[in-house]
Amino acid sequence: MTDLILTTFDWVPEMPRGYVRDIRVRWGLEEAGLPYRVESVPFRNRDAGHFSYQPFGQVPWLTDGDISIFESGAILLHLAERSDALMPVDPRGRSEVIQWLFAALNSVEMASLPFSLFKFTGDTIETPGRKLFDQFLKARLQHMEAVLSRREWLTGAFSVADILMADVLRLVDRFDGLTGFPACHAYVARATARPSFVKAYADQMAHFDAADAA
């Protein structure tokens, strides 16, 4: 079997380390036990070759033989097709995982990104638009709190949907955005205590730390 190739940046600043989205793919690969190797592209001076694989100049992308896939959700869905550790094989189970995978990206991350970007930039100015974004996120978290207060994982067993949802909520939690949402906070804690996440996180941090030392 040809090893999968995960491509990420060669270096990033301190702030996003541990949250660059290749961690989602690393996590999925570790959960599935699939062999892979990591390659790098420059964080600075992104060239035409980079844009030919990722049209927005972002990371990650995955190479699987003659297939190249970008966007973390699409990559994880591809991996889930290869491993029942990430998604069950029965149609009902698959549909449940897929719907929550898209919910993580479209319903929750869409609401959380403005909040996180304000926090990353250190913007503390209260504006009507800012309050609207915060209220939007709070509404989404209230719905997730109701769901996660009743279950350990989104679809019964841990799946690729939990990788995405937990990583989305993990970034909110970084900025104390889960205060007042104990079920969401506990869910993130459960997910990130899994050995596969611990290894994925350590590997990403080591990758960027090595660039500092080079």
Note the pLDDT tens digit of each residue in 180-195: 999 999 999 999 999 9
Query: Which has more confidence, 29 or 2?
Result: 29
Distance CA 209, CA 214 (A): 9
Residue the block writes with tokens 């994982």? 153
Mean pLDDT, the chain, integer: 95
Query: Is residue 1's pLDDT more than 70?
Result: no
Please check the confidence at residue 154 and state whether its pLDDT lies above 80.
yes
Domains defined along the chain, listed by start: 4-85+196-213 (3.40.30.10), 91-194 (1.20.1050.10)
pLDDT of residue 2: 64
pLDDT band per the 50, 70, 90 thresholds, residue 78: very high
pLDDT at 128: 76
- In the chain, DSSP assigns E strands to 4-9, 36-41, 61-64, 67-70
Q: What is the tens place of the pLDDT at every residue in 116-141?
A: 888 887 776 677 778 888 999 999 99
Chain position carrying tokens 């990650």: 60
pTM: 0.95
Model pLDDT, residue 126: 75
* Strand residue runs (E) in 96-200: none
The residue-averaged pLDDT of 88-103 equals: 97
Query: With 70 as the cut, is the pLDDT of residue 76 above it?
Result: yes
